[in-house]
Chains A and B, each alone.
Chain A
Amino acid sequence: MKPQTYESLLEQHFGYSTFREGQKEIIHDVLDGNDVLGILPTGTGKSLCYQFPAVLMEGTVLIISPLISLMIDQVKQLKQQGYKKVTAINSFLNVEQKREIFRNLDSYKLIYCSPEMLQNPQFLGELSNKVNVSLFVVDEAHCISQWGHEFRPDYLKLDDTLQQLGNPTLLALSATAPKNVQDDIMEQLGRTHMKKHIYPMDRENIAFSVEHVSHMSEKIERMKEILTSHPVPTMVYFSSRQWSEKAAYELSQSLQHLRIAFYHGGMDQEDRLLIQQQFMNDQLDVICCTSAFGMGVNKSNIRLVIHAHLPSQLESFIQEVGRAGRDGKQSVSLTFYSPGDSEIPKAFIEGELPNEEILHSTITFLYQWGHLKGNHVKSDEEMESMLEIGEIHWRFLRYQFEKHGMIEQTNIIYDKNRWKHAYEEIKRFIQERTNIKHRKLDELVHWLHQEDCLRKSLYQPFQHSLKSPTGFCCDRCDFQFNRWEVDKRQYVKQVSSWMEELKQICLQGEPYEMDKPGRTN
């Protein structure tokens, strides 16, 4: 296959006329049979790097993805483009659906699954017997390093799986992975000689601004001002569901010219989809959300991303900011900080892994209930409810106990010295992981208090050189809201009867105008 024909294939199969930065280079190497580590910034079309080879390669592309919602979104998008030979295997399928998919496993060109599913012997058996896996993709590969060590240990078993599948070509993709994470990914996958394609993640059309305020109410007041002078498509990130709801309510009370809604993981699936699609479809101007919103959001004209609360690390921050300005036009990242704001992510970090008390009581329980009374380890759900601890805590501990030989399959194997040692080791490990996270949060907080250029200091840990900004740089250099001019065309609030609405939906009455303003709420 000659490279010059790639463009015509791209047009033919995906409807784009040109590749975006990095795509073609990665595809080229993959098709040559090289293992590739690709770091491409958010919104540059990572998925094309394996969807395109899937068209040309014989056999099947297997994609390991961390989140069910992400898989389902991808499969939906592909099917919508008319690509049928694709499936996602996840825990939401019932026995019947799974059997159906397994039966026809060799008919799919792309199979998405979670690392946990790959440890299912039946699935792996079907896969290695029936399917010729020619490309093994690890999407969001930083999860190996981030989660693999804690509560998703199956991420650390991918190297074995690769061998069992006859060592197919490997492609690991991520949007944000600093050097140490890149090394960890390659080590854990057992392929230390991957070809690296690392693309800079700085976005030349996004300007950065940080405002220090004293309280949440001040943040909301400031948002009202900014959204009045700059009524642009906006995402506002909050750390909790309650705040996203409360802020959406307060903002919509005083910003009558804007259509504002909230989005979080507590809403039901159907309603989440409606809100997401309204936003994509320009029926909404401002969305107040938690980090649950964003994966799979592909809206090109988001102009402003506000962080009303902080995420817990620079990587997440960069990903969330990266949703702005996909169309290349001037966009802005605004972060609010008030004293005490870092306490929220701190508390989150502290709660993420079990503390010493939980560790101690769990080990005591295993000793008394398991060793003395001769019980076996039960299902995860049963253990969680007996121990009264959360899913993630139990998964973390179970993995640690297995690692230290305290649990084998469902057997509890007691050895006084070994257990003592393990207790100390696990305690130390928890401390170490927690320290790492605190350091990552400190980096972010430190960035917020920078006196020099925000752009430079934000991207410094990830890359050596920076592109020069196409518009504003940051508020330390040249940016101010009153210097940023935006299109002020505002939606006129339309009040129409339900009869009129129904007419439009059913395409009755006057011809529908494409750019007619949407409804307001």
Chain B
Amino acid sequence: MFQTLVLHCVHQYKGERSLSAILHMLTGKKSSQTFQDVHAYGLTPFFGIYRSLQRKDLEETAITLQQNGYLKQYDNGNPFLTEKGQVILRQKWNDFPFSFLNGMHFHYMDQTYWSRLLLFVQTASNIAMGEHQFIPVLDQKEIITWVKQKYQKEYNQLPSHLKELYDELSDILTQIPSQLAEMIVYRMTGYHRYGFSKEQLALKYDISIHDVTICLSAGIHFQLSTIVSNPTRFPVLFSYCKDCIDDIPLTQSAKKTKEWLDKGFTIEQICRIRNLKESTIQDHIVEFALVDPTFSLHDFVSIETAQDISHMAEMLNTNRLKAIKQSLQDKYTYFQIRVVLATVQKGGSSS
């Protein structure tokens, strides 16, 4: 499954990006470049779905794929798919629950939601059984604080809360393949029953540990999209994630820039105020173009410019900035091209 995903990423990047780009994408690196790439190459569902991925593991996988003849490298090191690789990708793609993944929407909240749920279920089932001493499966402070507050609210109705959790979770999990549902449930910890480690799940289903990680992400994302699209049907589970939802996933520094822009300052002024390079502020603006639905492109480029650029990108069928810039006789800056492409990729109109 992980191998198939890597093949897919290589395919989407069209040989225009290195293996590092795949690493940054899967680990959810918060940089404007990665954000923009992910949109440009249609990889939004996979953004940040494997945050613990190590470079050496990705490299090992790439070597295996290369040995199998599925991918090769250009002279600059960028990987691309062979004919054989494309065939195997088409064959295998539908075997796996990739369609449940929605990294761009959920990467910033999936772990929070899932950790809260795991720890609360462990806490509630132990205390409901009269066991007040147990080793919590997680020790992140924010999660523990949240669970404590939740517990304060629920402590006199633990049995009914657990009942509702059971009803809602089983409702959701019956909608996905049973093996995936099983993995999700085996991962959970209850009274006198600690959940499976990733290694144990890998052994049980005879898959790699990378596959386990992606399966769990898929299972969690499916829960979230089901809950968020129908909060009245899943009120209890909704309470585990609703405070996370409204965040637009911007980098911290970009948020600052947005505040200044909203106050009416120009790029040059913000550079001076924040003592940052112009290119950094431009990166932030490209980020807004990608994720902020209220972003107004024409504060930064004219209508004609936007049309010119998007037209050329379409004609060339590429997102390579250099190619677009040259074909337009260097009439526009890289920033102008990036911000237009970003708006187009978000699905907005450039005219």
- Are A505's CB and B199's CB within 8 A? no
A503-B166 CB under 8 A given contacts A498-B173, A498-B185: yes
User: A519 on the interface (CB 8 Å rule)?
Assistant: yes
Residue in contact with B197 in the complex, picked from A80, A261, A497, A506, CB distance below 8 Å: A261
- Residues of B contacting A497 in the complex (Cβ-Cβ under 8 angstroms): 178, 182
Provide the bound-state CA to CA distance between A273 and B166, in Å. 25
Residue in contact with B166 in the complex, picked from A76, A81, A283, A506, CB distance below 8 Å: A506
- Residues of A contacting B159 in the complex (Cβ-Cβ under 8 angstroms): 507
Chain A residues 57 to 91 lying within 8 A of chain B, measured CB to CB, are: 76, 80-81
- Are B166's CB and A521's CB within 8 A? no
> Interface code A262-290, partner B: CB below 8 Å = 1, 0 otherwise?
10000110111111011001010000000
User: B332 on the interface (CB 8 Å rule)?
Assistant: no
User: B170 on the interface (CB 8 Å rule)?
Assistant: yes
- Residues of B contacting A505 in the complex (Cβ-Cβ under 8 angstroms): 121, 125, 185, 188-191, 193
Interface size counted on chain A using CB atoms at 8 A = 36
- Residues of B contacting A80 in the complex (Cβ-Cβ under 8 angstroms): 133-135
User: B300 on the interface (CB 8 Å rule)?
Assistant: no
Chain A residues 477 to 511 lying within 8 A of chain B, measured CB to CB, are: 497-499, 501-508
Which one of B169, B193, B204 has the greatest number of beta carbons of chain A within 10 Å? B193
Chain B residues 91 to 142 lying within 8 A of chain A, measured CB to CB, are: 121, 125, 128-129, 133-135, 137-139
Specify the chain B residue showing the minimal Cβ separation from A275. Answer: B197
Chain B residues 151 to 167 lying within 8 A of chain A, measured CB to CB, are: 159, 162-163, 165-166
Provide the bound-state CA to CA distance between A277 and B159, in Å. 25
- Are B129's CB and A499's CB within 8 A? no
User: B196 on the interface (CB 8 Å rule)?
Assistant: yes
A502-B185 CB under 8 A given contacts A271-B199, A512-B191: yes
- Are B125's CB and A507's CB within 8 A? yes
User: B149 on the interface (CB 8 Å rule)?
Assistant: no
User: A249 on the interface (CB 8 Å rule)?
Assistant: yes
A506-B162 CB under 8 A given contacts A262-B199, A274-B189, A278-B194: yes
- Residues of B contacting A283 in the complex (Cβ-Cβ under 8 angstroms): 193-194
A448 smallest CB distance to B (angstroms): 32
A267-B199 CB under 8 A given contacts A274-B189, A506-B165, A506-B166: yes
User: A431 on the interface (CB 8 Å rule)?
Assistant: no
Specify the chain B residue showing the minimal Cβ separation from A279. Answer: B194
User: B302 on the interface (CB 8 Å rule)?
Assistant: no
User: A190 on the interface (CB 8 Å rule)?
Assistant: no
- Are A270's CB and B200's CB within 8 A? no
Which one of B162, B163, B186, B197 has the greatest number of beta carbons of chain A within 10 Å? B197
- Are B193's CB and A267's CB within 8 A? no
Residue in contact with A249 in the complex, picked from B133, B134, B178, B203, CB distance below 8 Å: B203
> Interface code B179-212, partner A: CB below 8 Å = 1, 0 otherwise?
0011011101111111111111001100000000
User: A252 on the interface (CB 8 Å rule)?
Assistant: yes
- Residues of A contacting B128 in the complex (Cβ-Cβ under 8 angstroms): 507
User: B349 on the interface (CB 8 Å rule)?
Assistant: no
Interface size counted on chain B using CB atoms at 8 A = 40
B233 smallest CB distance to A (angstroms): 18
Provide the bound-state CA to CA distance between A518 and B138, in Å. 22
- Are A501's CB and B194's CB within 8 A? no
Specify the chain A residue showing the minimal Cβ separation from B164. Answer: A506
User: B230 on the interface (CB 8 Å rule)?
Assistant: no
A32 smallest CB distance to B (angstroms): 33
- Are A81's CB and B186's CB within 8 A? no
- Are A501's CB and B199's CB within 8 A? no
- Residues of B contacting A272 in the complex (Cβ-Cβ under 8 angstroms): 197
- Are B162's CB and A519's CB within 8 A? no
User: B52 on the interface (CB 8 Å rule)?
Assistant: yes
A507-B191 CB under 8 A given contacts A76-B135, A80-B133: yes
B83 smallest CB distance to A (angstroms): 36
Provide the bound-state CA to CA distance between A275 and B166, in Å. 25
- Residues of A contacting B162 in the complex (Cβ-Cβ under 8 angstroms): 506-508
Provide the bound-state CA to CA distance between A380 and B38, in Å. 37
Which one of A252, A270, A497 has the greatest number of beta carbons of chain B within 10 Å? A270
- Are A268's CB and B185's CB within 8 A? no
Provide the bound-state CA to CA distance between A271 and B199, in Å. 8
Residue in contact with A518 in the complex, picked from B133, B134, B193, CB distance below 8 Å: B193
Provide the bound-state CA to CA distance between A81 and B184, in Å. 31
A271-B198 CB under 8 A given contacts A81-B133, A502-B173, A507-B162: yes
B217 smallest CB distance to A (angstroms): 15
- Are A502's CB and B170's CB within 8 A? yes
Specify the chain B residue showing the minimal Cβ separation from A77. Answer: B135
For the A-B complex with A267-B197, A505-B185 known, give 16 more contacts whose Cβ atoms are closer than 8 Å: A80-B133, A261-B197, A262-B199, A267-B199, A271-B199, A275-B197, A283-B193, A502-B166, A504-B190, A505-B121, A505-B125, A505-B189, A505-B190, A505-B191, A506-B165, A507-B159
23 CB contacts below 8 A, A to B, read A76-B135, A80-B135, A245-B199, A261-B197, A268-B52, A270-B137, A271-B197, A274-B137, A277-B135, A277-B137, A497-B182, A498-B181, A498-B185, A502-B170, A505-B185, A505-B188, A506-B162, A506-B166, A506-B169, A508-B163, A512-B129, A521-B200, A521-B204
